[in-house]
Structure 1
């Protein structure tokens, strides 16, 4: 006989409640799934229930326009976007259609979410759709505003590639500390790609810190500074992947970040990999090194629209005002960080954004305002086969890049050199 879980809830309901809290935080308050996780999952003790809540929320976000279209097809009048009945139906349908949960279990575990409310409506709409044998489109639709914005910037082919990328969570990419690592696809020296779902702690070299998890695209900015030739500053450094790359490449690294909690994670990552860096908790728009340095890596805070494959919340949270806000911050960071470099030094600017305002427009404005800087063109042999530099000498990675090999995050990367 099944016993009630904590709080007297039937088995399975607590995880669905937590998924509802996650979705509410993302869709109504604009939080990221990671930001919402601590509070939304606080009452869930079992790791598998926490993972299930996250999986349900992620699948709802991955398929949200299509789930809402199904719901609207079975109601006389559209439910409000923030109605609890709509949230409950999204969760039930995502379980049945994306996660393979039997229909009876999918509905039974969400009906308690609308106790004292429209249980009959939720049960009826779900039953209607279940009897119709509905399925989710493959690939999933993007939110209309996101699709329109990306189409205007990059064209319809990019939107279709983004839809295909959204359909499947990405593979696991590792950056190696040295020459050796787990067996897998090698798209660039010092990189391994493994199937998604790989148990990370079970891989050889984990305890020894022989590698760390890092999307292939995210590994490129640090690579473009090459082998260490003096001092390098990693601005906005946490959680530390790029700091570890620079340290492994023999740079004398100073890692800057505003969040001390994130810096603690960076320190733990350095300890695990037996790499060294000076860690500084500071606002990179105000801090400056005591003397000019040879290299600066600015992987700037951004809208993060390029990581939508693994963080599907981003396409529902990001809007033009946020993009403008982040672009303004990037301008300030880029202008300030440029002053840290000695003559002849190199600055790599990067964002995991698919917005021109956080990439090409930023680089163009920086060059216009800083006549002592020029583009240091990225060469073909510095990039994985299948990713090529733009005519301007910088790198733009869009959905569809390396698609046959599992794809990669969206990124913009520019390398500048200060006149000697």
Structure 2
């Protein structure tokens, strides 16, 4: 069945003939999901801020905890499978939707995401989408169309969905093209395939990894961390959280601090330190840590995390470019702001909020930050530069330019065997490059890790 975007089709249950129930159970959650999806897609607003429990979107904060969880599930699903959902919608139309019908498109995506990928009855998803369309003046005249498209998707999904998933790249063209250019067709395809699967939760534990894996129902990674495939409730409700026995940290994000070598007793600066996972690692390793964080609210979160973990660091709320210590540090860890394209499994909105221009702009900022970091370290000291971007412009290419133009910097290659887990990810220059296609496992939820680039440098005299 092909549905016309220009005409309303009659249907056994004509939504125009039924009243709108503004108090229908679940409607407020779907309205919030559509509004937030609009903010992500239309204004490129990051999802984390919109779904923050204290400072997020007002419609989100007005929901109870259960509905907030539902909204987050709908949004991450709709964003993770955006291209496939759009392909299924397009296949139900004989002509494109009006170019200005963005609100209509978001209603359709929220409805389809529930029907195709979440455990929500088709009838409930359709009825709530139609009610939402009727209640919004911008979409009221399309209520029949919403009804027809979603019901048709529901009827055909058993065969149509696998076919679409097999033939759709779940990313905008610009991102897929850059990924192929950087990694080749096969590796890029494996990365994109992993983006379709939700990532596990990795925990860095203070001690007794196997003991905590047994308690939490997880597995021990080669990094010594614990990976949880699933759990009920909030992370903060898990055993050991309140006692500060572990913290959440992806396996890739845990690598840079380990690659700094023996830092016990050394004065180490952690730049852009919040939320504090790497600061905690450095402090646990015996370093005298100065955690530099520009944003006061993020610094507050960092302090709270360190307090929970019973670890100490000197927290400096200051812009890196204004930081000038009384004496140089022995080492600096610079986890620089980036496009975050290595974290798409956890943050699928990144594909729709970042642009190629953002990558170029952030690479220029990273270069400036690295140059300034080099002035903070004593001659012969270590700089560990890292970020969670998959794009070489923010990693390998930026470092090559920095080394060519800054005589204070030279490579201090990571050698095979220094930290065995990193060996498969070492490049020819002794830097680490991880991607979501790493750590293969037959169970996708147990496979992969964030995309990260980490390079160890040293300063010259």
Q: What TM-score range do you get, normalising by the shorter chain?
A: over 0.9
Whether 1:124 and 2:109 are equivalent positions in the alignment is no
Matched, 1:419 2:460: yes
Q: Is the 8 A contact 2:320 2:369 kept in 1?
A: yes
Cα distance, 1:40–1:61 mapped onto 2, change above 3 Å: farther
CA deviations over 1:193-238 (Å, ceiling 9, x no partner): 1213465334332221011000000011111123324100000000
Q: Is the 8 A contact 1:234 1:298 kept in 2?
A: yes
Q: After the TM superposition, which of the residue ranges 208-217 and 145-154 deviates more from structure 2?
A: 145-154
Give yes or no for the alignment of 1:95 onto 2:131.
no
Q: Helix, strand or coil for the counterpart of 1:167? A: coil
Q: For 1:130-149, list aligned pairs within 5 A.
A: 130-133=154-157, 134-135=160-161, 137-138=164-165, 141-143=169-171, 144-149=173-178
Q: 2: CA distance between counterparts of 1:417 and 1:82?
A: 54
Equivalent pair of 2:74/2:110 in contact (CA under 8 Å): yes
TM-superposed deviation, 1:257 = 1.0
Taking the TM superposition and a 5 Å limit, the aligned residue runs for 1:248-397 are 248-381=284-417, 382-384=419-421, 387-397=424-434
Provide the C-alpha distance between the structure 1 equivalents of 2:370 and 2:455, rounded to a whole number of angstroms: 12
- Aligned partners of 1:387, 1:44: CA distance in 2, in Å? 47
The answer to whether the 8 A contact 1:138-1:167 is kept is no
**Shift in Å, 1:307:** 0.1
SS of residue paired to 2:74: helix
Higher deviation after alignment, 140-149 or 273-282: 140-149
- Cα pair 1:175 1:192 within 8 Å, conserved: yes
What's the TM-score once normalised by structure 2's chain length? 0.86
Shift of the alpha carbon at 1:10?
0.9
The answer to whether the 8 Å contact 1:386/1:401 transfers is no
Secondary structure of the residue aligned to 2:321 is: coil
Question: Could you tell me whether the CA contact under 8 Å between 1:179 and 1:190 is conserved in 2?
Answer: no
- By how many angstroms is 1:383 displaced? 4.4
> Residue 322 of structure 2: SS of its match in structure 1?
coil
Bigger-Rg structure (1/2)? 2
Task: Find 2:230's aligned residue among 196, 205, 215.
Answer: 196
Deviations 1:327-360 (A, max 9, x none): 1110111000111000121000001001111000
